[in-house]
Amino acid sequence: MGKRNYPVRLEELAFMEVCQMVRGAGVNWTRRLNEAAVTGHSSWLQEVKSVEEECVLVRAHLASLPVPLVSEVIIFYAFQEFIKLVEHYHHHDPRPLISRIIDRQVHESVCINMLKAVLLPCISKCDIRNMNSGFVQELVIKLLCAIPNIKSLNLPPLLRPRCVHLLVERFQILTHLEEFCFHTGCTTEIIIQLSKYCPHIKTISVQDSSHVDDGCVEHLLKLRDLLSLNFAKTSISTNSYAALLSGLPEMRDIIWFGPIEPVLGNLTSCLPSVVAFLGVISDAKLFVQKCPNIKQLYLYSPSQDISGLGELRNVASISILNSSYSKIRFNDVINRLGPRLEIFEACQVDNINLDDVINYCTDLRSLSINFSQVTCAEMFHPELPHFQNLEKLKIRGYWGAFSFCSVLHLYVNLTVVHFVGVEQITNTVIRQIVTAGGFRNLTEFFVDHCGYVTMETAWLLMQNCPNLTKIGNIGSWSHVTEDQVVTFLNTVRHNNVCLTLDT
């Protein structure tokens, strides 16, 4: 049987209780507004006034609580919940009621006040990247003035053009900002204002923003604390990007989806501070010369011989997407970098030679193979360092004559196992591995649309994997009924086992 649940600490119970109370206020407000709207216009206006008065009280109560409690727990949760509540209220509010301009203004005012009730100046980050409502997006941009101390701002594509203008105006008060992320819709003017008013900015990510061009470069060069710039798929030219890399001495990464050689060719010296690269490499020799201290490589669609990357000495993580293992001579890279690698990920890669990975990646901690062809010819000694050290194995939709089932039992220290779309994974295979002593250190087991896997496997793992805390994706398993899941969860609760089931 797995680990037992420890009693919830009093502090955590208090956090949960306050979070639920705050959310309950929002649910109450939107319910009352909807009911009043059905009754009539005067009832709605009266209820708006009442709700806005209560918003002020809730904000005052939250402001009286200790800052770490509010900023780190309650407000983070409450803000996300209130966004959902206001989105739902706005889109389900009776349309005829706010057809007049003055009523639309009242509607917007009460929505702003509900959001403002849970926005306090102590908040350090604002992440609304998953917000899809143009109406609520505009409200939040307006309310940035209520949270002037945020250090991180993460925005979605803005659906209303006037939101961009509002955002430009808000930078004057966001002087503590250190991280800014706005994909797709960012503009040169936004970057200029950001550079002017946010001197502490360290990270800027505006990928896919075609309206960001060379006009912002001279302003960015004044930001000496910049560590990361993601200008991939913008209108920044290769010459300007090279100027940024050479002119900002603390830059830690290169993110560039076009050929990197024209950029590197414009540099007169190497970039010793750059430790991460995400993009396309054709000339491995030039890359090694200019970026000798790389630790993380994310290679997009390499098609040329990149065996020269084996000259790098500090690489701990490699991810490769859409390529041919043999065509680019990746075996030479693995043979030389393998002993230092901790993470290896491959997606849509042909002819991955698992022999190389097992023999040379002796200290690998995480291996992920997605939608790729895998070959393997050898029989392996069970005590190879690779089998002893790997902790995370994630396989999604591979093909080829090789079967991972033939070596799974050798990975004695796995903590996380994910299999998606692997038909060979069945009750029988999992039982064989567990019987042979495998999976004893598992904390997370995830199987999705594989072979014949039933609740028998869930029971087996719970009984034999003492560290297991999570099982998924039960909903895709074979012949699993709701009664079986209920019986399993009742047993988990009855024995106070620290185990969750994802369906």
Within-domain flag for 228: yes
Burial class of residue 368, CB neighbours in 10 A (0-12, 13-18, 19+): middle
The answer to whether the CB of 196 falls within 8 A of the CB of 219 is yes
Domain boundary among 212, 247, 264: 264
182-191 pLDDT, tens per residue? Answer: 999 999 999 9
**How do beta strands 317-324 and 276-280 pair?**
unpaired
**What is the torsion angle, in degrees rounded to the nearest 10, for the CA atoms of residue 325, residue 326, residue 328 and residue 332?**
90
Quote the CA–CA distance of 466 and 495 in Å, as a whole number: 13
State yes or no: pLDDT of 344 exceeds 80: yes
pLDDT at 20: 85
Asked if 97 and 152 sit in the same domain, the reply is: no
Does 215 lie in the same domain as 101?
no
State the average pLDDT over residues 370-376.
Answer: 94
Same domain, 142 and 161: yes
Does residue 221 share a domain with residue 134? Answer: yes
Could you tell me if residue 422 is inside a domain?
no
Contact 460, 433 (CB under 8 A): no
Provide the number of structural domains found in the chain: 2
Q: Are residues 108 and 140 in the same domain?
A: no
pLDDT classification of 379: cutoffs 50, 70, 90: confident
Residues 145 and 256 in one domain: yes
Place of tokens 């509540």: 85
User: Do 104 and 130 have their domain in common?
Assistant: no
Residue 181 covered by a domain: yes
Give residue 437's pLDDT.
86
Nearest residue to 141 (alpha-carbon basis) of 369, 444, 159 = 159
What's the pLDDT score for residue 71? 66
What is the distance between the alpha carbons of residues 481 and 454, in angstroms, rounded to a whole number?
A: 10
Phi (first) and psi of residue 154, to 5 degrees: -125, 115
Distance CA 298, CA 336 (A): 17
pLDDT digits (tens, 9 = 90+) for 483-502: 999 999 999 988 888 899 98
Q: How high is the pLDDT of residue 128?
A: 93
The answer to whether residue 374 sits within a structural domain is no
* DSSP 8-state class, residue 70: I
Domain residues for the domain of 199 are 124-264
Decide which of 95, 122, 149 is a domain's last residue. 122
E strands, 152-230, in order: 152-155, 179-182, 203-205, 228-230
Question: Is the domain of 88 the same as that of 140?
Answer: no
Task: Name the band, by pLDDT with cuts 50, 70 and 90, for residue 67.
Answer: confident
Same domain? For 78 and 156 the reply is no
Q: Would 350 be classed as within a structural domain?
A: no
- Asked whether residue 330 is domain-assigned, the answer is no
Q: What is the pTM of this model?
A: 0.89
CATH number at residue 184: 3.80.10.10
Q: Which of residues 264, 280, 303 is at a domain's end?
A: 264
**229 pairs with which residues across the strands?**
204
Between the CA of residue 312 and those of 224, 259, 273, what are the distances in Å? 27, 20, 14
Q: Nearest to residue 240, comparing CAs of 227, 224, 256, 226?
A: 256
Task: Looking at the structure, tell me whether residues 118 and 139 fall in a common domain.
Answer: no
Task: For residues 95 and 201, state if they share a domain.
Answer: no
* Bridge partner residues of 211 (DSSP): 187
Please tell me whether residues 94 and 135 are part of one structural domain: no
189 found inside a domain: yes
Q: Do the strands 352-353 and 374-375 form a parallel or antiparallel pair, or are they unpaired?
A: parallel
Within a domain: residue 17? Answer: yes
Count other C-beta atoms under 10 Å from residue 378's C-beta.
10
Q: In whole angstroms, what is the distance from residue 394 CA to residue 369 CA?
A: 6
Q: Which of 338, 430, 350, 334 is nearest to 386 (CA)?
A: 338
